[in-house]
Amino acid sequence: MKIGINGNRLVASGDVHAITKHAADVAAAGVGSYWLAQHPAGAMDALGTLIAVAGRQPQLALGTGVIPIWGRHPAALAAQVLTASQSVPGGLTVGIGLSHVAMVEQHLGTLYARPLATMREYLEVLVPLVRDGEVDHEGPIFQCHTKVAVAGPPTDVLVAAMGPRMLELAGALADGTIVTWTGPKTIRDHVIPTISKAAADHGRPPPRIAAVFSACVTDDADAARAAVHDWFEFHGRAPSYDAMLEREGVASASDVALIGDESEVAARILDLAALGVTDLIIGEAVPGDARTRRLLADVMTTTDVSP
């Protein structure tokens, strides 16, 4: 399992300098990867920002988690991916997703329609272009007939998926999934079996399972849980996330966060690795939390968890 930190709390700032500094601090702490989301109508382009990060921290593996697909043709995103992959020596992963209907309609209008069909066609254009440089697709939503040069290294495409049909689609057409606010039981009993069966049924290799978890190594667990709860209630609440928490059988997003002292958080990280999580993406419950970063680096260097 690879371990990284995301800079999603900084996305709304639109400040590329702040994000490159955050990524530098993450790298200096010994954490091996850095992820960044993109707001559907935000000022910051995630892939462009990660190119800036790579120029300063070439050792970091980088990923988007996630880029919403609405309003951007998959061929245009493919061009961005093919450009960025050549600028990220540590390796690039591209996560895409639907975002949330309320957020998309609030900022972009009535683009959000036929989500499963749209994501299917999006992947049918994006993945062949990124992987092979060629696509011949004529669908009701997207049309693309082109051949382009692929000069960079391979780039995995992950899909934010939590419901069974989207997980099946991710297994069939993409390289894996990214889940957020999803607890270990749900990952074990729902996410991994569903996507893995779909991948196997379509002759694809075992999928990557990237999971975003808020985390805080602390002696004041109650305060950390309150911080996670407040963040979720203000920034993260959405029907799809609520459904995952209900499936997990917990009352609050803070109940799935990785919170406790060093031994407690390390044990939960190792449990996630044992479940089959391939990429653990940490959202810092307390920004700039040096104690949590040290623990993540220690876990990578003292166990068989890969950096």
Q: Identify whether 223 is part of a domain.
A: yes
* CATH number for the domain that contains residue 163: 3.20.20.30
Decide if 307 is inside a domain. no
The reply to whether 245 falls in a domain is yes
> How many structural domains does the chain have?
1
Residues 121 and 169 sit within 8 Å (Cβ to Cβ)? no
CB atoms within 10 A of CB 60: 25
Q: Is residue 224 part of a domain?
A: yes
Helix axes 74-85, 46-56, angle to 10 degrees: 0
Contact 37, 8 (CB under 8 A): yes
Q: Return all residues near 11 (Cβ < 8 A) that are at least 6 apart.
A: 19, 36, 37, 38, 39, 42, 44, 46
Structure confidence at residue 71 (pLDDT): 79
Residue 306 lies in a domain: no
Give the pLDDT score at 243: 87
User: What's the pLDDT at 107?
Assistant: 58
Considering the entire predicted model, what is its pTM?
Answer: 0.94
Domain enclosing residue 271, as ranges: 2-301
Long-range Cβ contacts of 83-87 (<8 Å, 24+ apart): 83/47, 83/51, 84/47, 84/48, 84/50, 84/51, 85/152, 85/153, 85/154, 85/155, 86/151, 86/152, 86/153, 87/51, 87/54, 87/55
Mean pLDDT by 10 residues, the chain (307 residues): 95 94 97 92 89 97 93 94 97 89 61 87 98 97 96 96 96 97 96 98 98 97 94 77 90 94 97 97 93 96 66
Within-domain flag for 232: yes
pLDDT given at position 104:
54
